[in-house]
Amino acid sequence: MKSISSLLLASPALAATTGTFNILSFNVAGLPELLNNNDVPGDKTENTEIIGERFSEYAYDIIHVQEDFNYHAALYSTDNHTYRTSTSGGVPFGSGLNTLSNYNWIDFERVKWDTCSDASGFDCWTPKGFTVMRVKLEDGVYVDAYNLHADAGSEDEDVTARSANLQQVADYISTNSIGNAVLVYGDTNARYTSSGENIRIFETQNGMTNPWVELVLDGVEPTEGTDAVVCENPTTSETCETVDKIFYRGSPALTLQATSWAYEDTKFLNNGTILSDHNPITSEFTWTKSDSFRLSNLYGGPHGTWFNDLPSLSSTSKLSSISIAGAERLDSITLTLSNGTSITHGGTGGTAQELTLGEGEAWTTTKLCQGKYNDHTRIFYMQVTTSDGNELAVGTETDECVSFEAEEGWGVVGAWGRAGDEVDMLGVVYGVV
């Protein structure tokens, strides 16, 4: 008997086309009291428990925390979010980065900074860096969410390290979030007004927007080299600048739009006193699926190199032929567009099965099965069915399978996922046919 997963049908026709969610970024001041009391009144364990209670009370959708070191158990003991990352440890073992979410995710990874500085602190004492995960908001709706804690301090070595940290995240996005909607938020330890810092890298390299600049400052960034308007804690001014930041972008398949940005200081007080030395920040977003492209869910394992055909497609892109190659597993997929462009993902092994689409024929149904090979989850089987009833299939069926069905008027025009010598993870890109 096939497992339940083998009977799943993921259809864009059944999924919502628009929605909302909110996010929160908060440095929770979780360094051990002996190392840093953060100039915060009260007991750190009790303060952290209260922070967890407020996370639950206000039900933020995707929370990134930084400095979640030695009081992590206290934070989670009072929080009720369904999905939460496991701690990487206290000082000096962990990064202090964690996520609490109402949405599930895939492809979670922790990445350590390549550069750090102890010029005015102890940034090299822990494996600080950033995390990334693909948060699933709805069927076919994913957002790559990055959490970071950059190098602190104001010495030249600190500024150099911090700029290298931000560049490292931007470069990672350029490679591993191609074609995807992206959120970056956390403790950057940088300000627009500070000289020599590349806080603008997410805008210039990754095409992202800061909702504080967009919504509060009417799109006008603070000028580099001018005096910083530093926030009090708690603050009553939204125009002051904190080092905690949010950046976002959509994709050709998904529009993201920030609808609000705010400091959440008053929600995180205990009898009028602060719970952390950082100002928590929040934004709300609307998401809307494109009229030109839609995405299926992703299926498979977190291995191989990320790919996404969306940047290579236009609203007029049509698929002319399909080639899938494999033996025991799916080795590669090659899609040729009507303009002659051919895109291949995967390796060179296996026997190819090819299909040229007829006039008005579209690829409408996709069946995928996954399995383990060398301890890596990979795509073992792929079956393609067209609107005319033609089929291609390669690989070996397993008990773990899904099917993706195009909604009326749509057909597959591309793919997205992960691949190396074989195809590790796969989803399809739908276009209007």
User: Looking at residues 4-13, what average pLDDT do you find?
Assistant: 41
User: Looking at residues 368-373, what average pLDDT do you find?
Assistant: 97
**Same domain, residue pair 267 and 298:** no
User: Looking at residues 273-300, what average pLDDT do you find?
Assistant: 97
In a domain, 10, yes or no: no
User: Looking at residues 4-31, what average pLDDT do you find?
Assistant: 74
The CATH number that applies at residue 226 is 3.60.10.10
Q: Are 309 and 415 in contact (CB under 8 A)?
A: yes
**Same domain, residue pair 273 and 307:** no
Alpha-carbon distance values, 107 to 67, 146, 303, 382 (Å): 22, 12, 9, 21
In a domain, 2, yes or no: no
Query: Over the stretch 194-247, which tens digit does the pLDDT of each residue have?
Result: 998 999 999 999 999 999 999 999 999 999 999 999 999 999 999 999 999 999
**Same domain, residue pair 331 and 365:** yes
**Same domain, residue pair 220 and 302:** no
**Same domain, residue pair 251 and 313:** no
Q: What share of the chain is helix, strand, coil (3-state, %, to 5)?
A: 15, 40, 45
Q: Which domain holds residue 37?
A: 18-289
Distance CA 140, CA 145 (A): 16
Domain boundary among 239, 264, 289: 289
Residue of 381, 385, 379 lying closest to 366 (CA atoms): 385
**Same domain, residue pair 118 and 228:** yes
**Same domain, residue pair 381 and 396:** yes
The mean-pLDDT minimum among 5-19, 115-129, 356-370 falls in 5-19
In a domain, 1, yes or no: no
**Same domain, residue pair 254 and 299:** no
* 283: pLDDT strictly greater than 70: yes
* 8: pLDDT strictly greater than 60: no
**Same domain, residue pair 399 and 414:** yes
The CATH number that applies at residue 399 is 2.100.10.30
In a domain, 8, yes or no: no
**Same domain, residue pair 87 and 228:** yes
Query: Over the stretch 168-195, which tens digit does the pLDDT of each residue have?
Result: 999 999 999 999 999 999 999 999 999 9
Residue 107 backbone class (left: φ over 0; alpha: ψ -120 to 50; beta: rest): left
pTM of this prediction?
0.95
pLDDT recorded at residue 38:
78
pLDDT recorded at residue 384:
98
- Report the domain count for the chain: 2
Query: Over the stretch 289-340, which tens digit does the pLDDT of each residue have?
Result: 999 999 999 999 999 999 999 999 999 999 999 999 999 999 999 999 999 9
